[in-house]
Chains A and B, each alone.
Chain A
Amino acid sequence: MAKKKPITPPESDSLLNGTRRDFLKQSSFLTAIALTPVSLIKAAESGLDEKIAAVFEKVPLNITVNGIKHDLSVEPRVTLLDLLREQLHLTGTKKGCDRGQCGACTVHVDGKRVNSCLSLAAMHDGQHVTTIEGLANGDQLHPLQEAFIKHDGFQCGYCTPGQIMSGVACIREGHANNEHDIREYMSGNICRCGAYPNIVNAIQEVSKGGQKV
């Protein structure tokens, strides 16, 4: 597994310049409140730069995404979805409703499918995430990706990464043995183009094929 260099928070270069950096170095007061971020919020409210507060609010996060280990520092309010898309630039995972209602953001965490929009990135310290980008084996598509193409399991394609991640999990869980089960266990993924019959066919074919998914 490759180990990536830690990603620096994008705003830190502009933030920790000149006088601010000196200010931070000199200030034992700030070191103390770094350990108690609530007081830091209060410090920010009482006139200190809010962006400084944001830097100190960050929490360390070690997370493995598609086999690549990342040592990050994240603001606690960043969702797993936003971390993947905005910081790791894995834009295959889609933001649909951002409320856990559509399933477009489905990824696997430690092998289980979850809605990445309703989960804070910081809560996944030490965990393994697989996104749609991590499904293929090099140039060789995953069998369910092949099946979606063959069965025309999409129209606009926006829900497709979530459908495929959910579909792979559905097969692995053993919930893809018949059309009824597939429809029930895929109900967390909405397709507004209405490609459902083709999605069911794609999942059913791979499930019946019995190959490792």
Chain B
Amino acid sequence: MNQFQYVRPTEQTSAVKSFVKDANTQFIAGGTNLIDLMKMGVVTPDRLVDINRLPLKEIKKTTTGIHIGALALNSQVAESSLILQHHPVLALALNAGASPQLRNMATVGGNMLQRTRCGYFFDTSMPCNKRQPGSGCGAIEGINRMHAIFGASESCIAVHPSDMCVALAALDATVTVLGLKGERRIPFADFHRLPGDHPEHDNTLQKGELILAIDIPDAPATKNVAYLKVRDRTSYAFALVSVAAVLNIEGGIIKSARLAMGGVAHKPWRLHEAEKSLIGKPATLDNFKQASQIAMQGAKAYKYNQFKLKLGPNTIVQALKTAAGVA
């Protein structure tokens, strides 16, 4: 690991100020991703700003929903009675991610800023436009079994690895960030971005902006929810495909539906068209199958991830069945 300066501010504004003084600065919270990347030489900061002393750990009820501080631990959120009561799909997604040890370290803000787990991104001897813009993409013609089927570009076919973010995408969360010019709020759908010509940017944060909190509006439904994650082993692996489903069912009819997928794109992949197709219809297997086919429109697979074209819709159907309690 390269040498770096370490600073530990206790107040948000000074954290933001200490960030922008230098070009090559990183915030560190749980460190579960960043330290790994630093050991591999993928990220080599001159300065680390440890934000763990900032007062951003609170989970509380507001008049419009639930507020989660950026430094709340993944385990803390997953076990929070407020989250279990109001947004159980978020707890399900969090518990599907990483291991208990990592969930005790990783924060909500850090989870959102996870880098891709693409092997070419991690291997500094390989080309990667995300790690080194202009160097090419090793994955497009390489081992791309874990890679995207939606929204990829000629530059990058990596996927976002988070489970938590898939649930937050389905829940229409809002991200509050602080920069030198003050605070701003970013709808969750606009927080992560597609790779396009600039895969080096995972998200729409400006340089030096610090995530302060996530706000989740009250959900229309908390009973008929599911998070289904399909992976190479039963636990502690990244998703091949995952699906978050939040249904509001009254008298057997779907009043509203929220669906998002993980493991398929550079950002959590919300399935708006499939959602629309379900509204006003009975919660039946046939309707779920139809929605899953709509969801897969525009999907494009590469040499080794063809299986996701089948696994994707199957996972959607299974998640909808689980959420709706349909056998």
A residues engaging B (CB < 8 A)? 36-38, 41, 53-54, 57, 59, 75-77, 79, 98-100, 103, 106, 112-115, 118-120, 122-123, 125, 166, 169-170, 173, 175, 183-185, 187-189
CB pair B52–A76 under 8 Å, yes or no, is no
Sample 15 A-B pairs with CB under 8 A, ordered by A number.
A54-B3, A59-B6, A76-B6, A98-B39, A113-B100, A113-B104, A114-B104, A114-B105, A118-B102, A119-B31, A119-B35, A187-B235, A187-B236, A188-B236, A189-B99
Among B5, B99, B236, the residue within 8 A (CB) of A76 is B5
The answer to whether B101 touches A188 (Cβ under 8 A) is yes
A100 touches B102 (CB 8 A): yes
> CA separation between A125 and B8, bound complex, in Å?
11
What residues on A are CB-neighbors of B35 within 8 Å? Answer: 79, 118-120
Q: How far is the CA of A187 from the CA of B47 in the complex (A)?
A: 34
| A123 and B5 contact, Cβ closer than 8 Å, known pairs A115-B102, A175-B100, A187-B236 | no
> Is B234 on the interface with A (CB-CB < 8 A)?
yes
Distance (whole angstroms) from the CB of B99 to the closest CB of chain A: 2
Contact status B100-A166, CB under 8 Å: yes
Q: Is B314 an interface residue (CB 8 A)?
A: no
**Chain A residues whose C-beta falls within 8 Å of the C-beta of B46 in the assembled complex:** 38, 41
Chain B residue contacts of A41, Cβ below 8 A: 3, 5, 46
Q: Is B50 an interface residue (CB 8 A)?
A: yes
Chain B's nearest CB lies how many Å from the CB of A157?
Answer: 20
Kindly name the residue among B36, B47, B99 whose own CB sees the greatest number of chain A CB atoms within 10 A. B99
A77–B102 Cα gap in the complex (Å)? 19
Specify which of B3, B31, B38, B104 is in contact with A112 (CB 8 Å cutoff).
Answer: B104
CB distance from A169 to the nearest CB of B (A): 7
> Quick check: A120 and B31 within 8 Å, CB to CB?
yes
